[in-house]
Structure 1
Amino acid sequence: MLQHLDEGITIKEVENHFHYSEFYFSRIFKTLTGESVYAFIKHLKMDQSAIDIKLKKHKAITDIGLDYGYSASNYSSAFRQHHRLSPTEFRKSIEATSIANPFHPGIVDYFETFDDYDARMKIVLLQDVQVIYERVFGNYDDPTISSMNRCICDLCITTDNTCKLDNITMIKGGKFATCRFEGEIKDIFL
């Protein structure tokens, strides 16, 4: 779904992709995520549009809304309903150089510059890797926009084939964007 958001993806196309009946797919999807497929796609579009507002400051907000299937008249109200800010207020608020750490109340973390983050980013070819995998479903917002109780959180820890837990999966190898982090787990937020 993430790979096809800008193509006007439909629920029927998602169901057909997985070769399930509409009723079965919708029921299983809602059981796993707590939301309908339609609501999930709507959240993803709102979150991605917020990222575009952050990154594409030269682009008109109405054009960003149009990119995600919203008319000029309903994008602002849909955005406000989802993010509790208008798109214009959101764009003005993102010049922040710091953010309250959601894991440690009272602690403010400061962002590095883009160049600092970019210097640590590398595209690498990785082999298949077996991981212990856990996903916590909530709502789907960017933690720099919304509180942590509105995010999808994924956690993967590498393991070998002797691990007998139920939540084991294989991540297929290929090219991945990586960012090296050194420090304590409590500091990984930024």
Structure 2
Amino acid sequence: MDLLFFKDEKLKYKYLNTSFAKLFTKEREEVYGKTDKELLPEELYYQCYKGDIETIDYIYENKIDTYYLILIDLDNLRSLNNNPEGIFFRIGGDEFSGLINRSKTEVEEILKKIYGDLIKIGLSPQLSISTGAKNLDISKNYLENYANTDKLLYEAKLKGKGCYILK
């Protein structure tokens, strides 16, 4: 079970996946926009709050700006689904998102490896991905970072699919 969430500067949940909402035994809509204080018993809330503040302090004190938001879209998934030799199933559509703490050079090496491995698999029709990756701007909220990275993803798709754009 992969858990994913983002909080804004007021520590309100601005994005969360279904698995994360299940931790609260709630639907995503019931958690969105709330703080841990509204969702958790007092003692657990203070532990989470302390962790949030320590993380924020660490990021600002160490001027960490090497997180990259990465969006991946599976190109031509519909063609693969219609392939008589097998069926592929989508889980949550054909887009995936990740957050990685690496330098730009390391992120590029990871992307090159993913692209190389996809070619080696040898599916017919060939599976390809389009990727947008952008340095996370901690002065912006999740939606702004997502929108900027999403633009790069679609820029990559316009280049003919099967490529990435890293900024």
Q: TM-score range by the shorter chain?
A: under 0.3
TM-score (norm 1): 0.24
